[in-house]
Amino acid sequence: MNTTSAAPARKALKVLVAEDNTINQRLVIAMLTTLGHTGVVVGDGEKALKCLSKLTFDVVLMDVMMPNMDGLQALAAIRAQEQVRGGHVPIIMVTAHTEPGDKARFTQAGADGYAAKPLQIGHLCAELDRVLAPTCAA
């Protein structure tokens, strides 16, 4: 899939990547770079929370299964903090263990999007566009 023709029209995003697997970290960063975005990588949900308390991101790619604090626990903690502080960071849940009903389960938990592993650059690009479309139009 050729994504270079659409890339210049996109705003460069700052993406927090919460992923414990180093190979997947490198793969996601390579995809984001190809799409013209920058990524900051953390290895678990606790580190994602700490990073979000210090830096601002356009979107978060959150692996579901991570050590210390998994993606769903981190999602719940982020949404709880937003209730107190205000604001909303879009979060796309990423999982290798897809089950029927995952998308609905993640949405009910407060996620804005969903992507299955192995990630494909076209699907990642489409999901970023879909999740961020309301903010881009504003």
Q: What is the spatial distance between Cα 71 and Cα 20, in angstroms, rounded to a whole number?
A: 11
Indicate the length of the chain as a whole number.
138
Residue 7 CA, chain-centre distance (Å), reads 18
- At 9 the pLDDT is 56
Distances (CA, A) of 115 to 28, 82, 95: 12, 23, 7
- At 100 the pLDDT is 87
**Helix, strand, or coil (residue 92):** strand
| Domain 13-137 bears CATH identifier 3.40.50.360 | no
Q: Where are the domains of the chain?
A: 13-137
- Which tens digit of pLDDT belongs to each residue from 44-93? 999 999 999 999 999 999 999 999 999 999 999 999 999 999 999 999 99
